Amino acid sequence: MRKLAVLTGGGDCPGLNAVIRAIAKSAHGYGIEVLGIRDGFRGAVEGDFMSLSLKDVSGILPRGGTILGTTNRDNPFAYEMKLNGMTQPVDRSDDVIRNLQEHGVDALLAIGGDGSLNIALKFANKGLKVIGIPKTIDNDLMATDQTFGFQTAVDTAQEALDRLHTTAESHHRVMVLEVMGRYAGWIALYAGVAGGADVILIPEIPYNLNRVALSIQKRAKQGKKFSIIVVAEGAKPLGGEMVVERMMTGRVDPIKLGGIGAKIGHDLEDHYGMETRVTVLGHLQRGGSPNAYDRVLSTRYGAAAVDAALEEEFGIMVALLGREIVRVPLREAVDQIKLVPLNDPLLLAARTLGMEMGD
């Protein structure tokens, strides 16, 4: 093992630089050269590589984002190119393999979520030596207890809830906070419990707006003149569909969610006369410095990925199981999305505390 390449794909999240740093420092400790691939799989297709020396990764542990750049477009197996004046998807996966070979790369370390690791799995099936590292604030990857970036995103949402509490109480309003998570409700559930929300709405439990309104009215009768609602962007009403902001071509998942918070706010005002304000946290959850937990987890993942490469174990993803970092087949990580189970201990605890789940 003489040379490794690393890329960051999909949406950015706190902890990416911490992983890059851990990979570079661990690899150089073993005398292995490390190349960074700029802007995810786009750089792999176009051959946009850079050297990652110890100096290059010095001081990046607390930095948000990724020094390599990233994109949630540019799938090498359906790479958009203009042919005969029209944009068409072209399979350029062979170009990626050739670029890696020409740079003398022995193995690729792919840091990403569901979309990026699905691409990594396809390359593994083509014979490329690939190791996956689980990254997403959504925490929706199977085969790992937690992805890095999730806990920092929860902290950001919890802080927003703390601030919304004071203004909601002052004005006797219903405050709705829309958080990310796509099809899974992990951020909404954890932030809702940590931030003392009164209503938590997640994709796994379609909500009945009347139940939500009744819980708010019950609080008002108890002298509690404000309520806080946390809603995951993928939540949907009973018998209804998710709110889609728009469709975006060129992405592994073209659906861009957004707008459920506004829908709930409007519905509560129109049907129940409740004064409501809506806050969409959006990309604030992705930005900023990773917290201590994510810095440690990211560092452990990066070091473990280099160890796996040294032991020539490929087609795997490093994962957190309990307190241990283990190796699992890439396929197990991307076969399906990890949703919040209806018997999840935190979900049951939220119900015990009287938090309304909309059902």
* Helix, strand or coil, per DSSP, at residue 290: coil
Place of tokens 């690791």: 117
By the 10 Å C-beta count (0-12 exposed, 13-18 middle, 19+ buried), 302 is classed as buried
Compute the distance between CA of residue 265 and CA of residue 272 in angstroms, rounded to an integer: 10
Helical segments of 198-338, H only: 209-221, 260-272, 292-310, 330-334
C-alpha to C-alpha distance for 359 and 340, rounded to whole angstroms: 15
Residue 305 and residue 103: Cα distance in Å, rounded? 20
End-to-end CA distance of the chain: 54
Determine which one of 12, 74, 114, 138 is catalytic: 138
Question: Please, what's the b/e burial string for 146-173 (b: 16 or more CB within 10 A of its CB; e: otherwise)?
Answer: bbbbbbbbbbbbbebbeebbeebeeeeb
Concerning whether 138 is annotated as a catalytic residue, the answer is: yes
SS3 content of the chain, % helix, strand, coil (to 5): 40, 25, 40
Q: Which residues are catalytic?
A: 138
